[in-house]
Amino acid sequence: MTAMPVEQPLLCNQCEQTSRGVGCSIGERPGVCGKDKDVESLQQILLYGLKGMASYAHHARRLGKTDEEVNAFIEEALFSTVTNVNFDVDSMLELVLKCGEINLKVMKMLDEGHVETYGKPRPTTVDHGTKAGPGILVTGHDMVDLHRLLKQVEGSNVNVYTHGEMLPAHMYPELGDHPNLAGHFGGPWQKQKTEFAAFPGAVLATTNCILLPRDTYKDRLFHTRVTAVPEGKKVPDDDFSMVIECAKQCEPCPENIEKQSTVGFHRTVILDKAAEIVEAVKGGNISHFFVIGGCDGAEPGRNYYSDYARATPEDSFILTLGCGKYRINGFDYGEHLGLPRLMDMGQCNDAYGAIAVAVALADAFDCSVNDLPLTIVLSWFEQKAVAVLLTLLSLGVQGVRIGPAAPAFISPNVMAKLQEAFNLQLIGPDGAADCAVAMAN
């Protein structure tokens, strides 16, 4: 009989005691002591931030934008999370903030790639609903996929519609002026199971924020590259012919335009009016700026954001971006100084724009971003929101509110460090009350 191998004891990283699968004397699992929780927390924050940054970098690369410093940092930061490499809270926190610093560069590359490739954005009125004829609904974030699809349907009667985070595509002349881009259908990603079922044509998923499909539409759902769902069809090598053919075979969309909205208040549009904005603030005609947006979710607590936005004063402006915009863009906020009070700056991929506007205004007033009449309220859901938050913290921005709940991967000690250094705050139970606090400060 062959002897069974003897289980080797695991040496705990920190207390140097051994365990056999039940954890050391002060730990919770083999090789990791309880006092490592803060390091683990920072590693998780770093990993989430890197995932978000990699998403932005992927989009930028498809637009021809790369940077060796970015690539080197991703390698170094991932290496820092390997077992038995780093047990030091302070040095891990430095890497977390460095992730935010590098992410700013990545977001700038992506922003520049979009503008250089598809033209300088402009405010644009978008039809919501469908026009009569075959249709393809494009969801996700990838403007390259949308552009290539539009080129392949050119000259046909197939209409293309944006969904979710693709709505800002309409602000770019190269995309928005294309005769086959017919409008926008639906809302945020979490409603796609109902909305994709209601859309009669083909559906193309370009990036993340895709849900497992229902039987009612899974046979007409297509995906690209690493985006994938069971029983969905993968588009080969940017050849959208199968998607186009499916749209032609499907039931045509009805003529049903439900409403219109205005998008396209990209950083370039706002900065073109920077001098007027500065004078308006100095003259007491603008009381406050609010950045309200981020990554959305289905929780009822996210109604906080619409309550907050509706409580903003009539002489203030709301800048929004990401799919969090759908929480607040269904209301009429009116106009101020000839501009809509709610200005849609774009996707979560356009978060660089909000930061660039804040920095430009701070420069104009010869002050720091923290001295501006500016409040940032982020809805928290996925990795890109983590990357954006880390960028704000790396810039020293104070008083950012996040919610609707505390991130589970941030330990109490790490949260305390972030609150002490950056006055990072969780949203309260009442959006209107938090808005009043922001105005009072």
Q: Which of 5-14, 38-47, 288-297 has the highest mean pLDDT?
A: 38-47
99 a known binding residue? no
Residue 290, strand partner residues: 318, 375
Q: pTM score, two decimals? A: 0.89
Q: Residue 4: pLDDT above 80?
A: no
Structure-model confidence comparison of residues 241 and 230, the more confident one: 241
Q: Residue 5: pLDDT above 70?
A: no
The torsion defined by the Cα of 272, 275, 280 and 286, in degrees rounded to 10, comes to 50
Q: How far apart are CA 25 and CA 15, in angstroms?
A: 8
195 a known binding residue? no
How far is CA 287 from each of CA 78, 205, 280, 439, 441, rounded to the nearest angstrom? 43, 41, 9, 8, 12
417 a known binding residue? no
Q: How far apart are CA 99 and CA 122, in angstroms?
A: 31
Percent of residues, the chain, with pLDDT higher than 70: 91
What was the pLDDT predicted at 354? Answer: 92
246 a known binding residue? no
- Write out pLDDT tens, residues 369-398: 999 999 999 987 678 889 999 999 999 999
Question: Domain 25-118 belongs to what topology?
Answer: Substrate Binding Domain Of Dnak; Chain:A; Domain 2 (1.20.1270)
What was the pLDDT predicted at 59? Answer: 95
- Write out pLDDT tens, residues 150-185: 999 999 999 999 999 999 999 999 999 999 999 999
Confidence class for position 12, pLDDT limits 50, 70, 90: very low
Catalogue the E-assigned strands of 35-155: 124-130, 135-139
Confidence class for position 28, pLDDT limits 50, 70, 90: very low
Domain boundaries, the chain: 25-118, 124-259, 263-440
Q: Residue 72: pLDDT above 70?
A: yes
What was the pLDDT predicted at 389? Answer: 94
Q: Residue 24: pLDDT above 90?
A: no
Question: Domain 124-259 belongs to what topology?
Answer: Rossmann fold (3.40.50)
209 a known binding residue? yes
305-332 mean pLDDT: 93
Helix (H) or strand (E) holding 247: helix 241-249
Q: What is the average pLDDT value for the chain, to the nearest integer?
A: 89
253 a known binding residue? no
Structure-model confidence comparison of residues 228 and 36, the more confident one: 228
Find all residues with CB under 8 Å of 345, minimum gap 6, and list them. 265, 266, 267, 270, 319, 320, 321, 353, 354
How many other C-beta atoms are found inside a 10 Å radius of the C-beta of residue 133? 17
- Write out pLDDT tens, residues 130-145: 999 999 999 999 999 9
10-25 mean pLDDT: 40
263-440 has CATH 3.40.50.2030 classification: yes
Confidence class for position 300, pLDDT limits 50, 70, 90: low
250 a known binding residue? no
Confidence class for position 224, pLDDT limits 50, 70, 90: very high
Locus of tokens 């913290």: 393
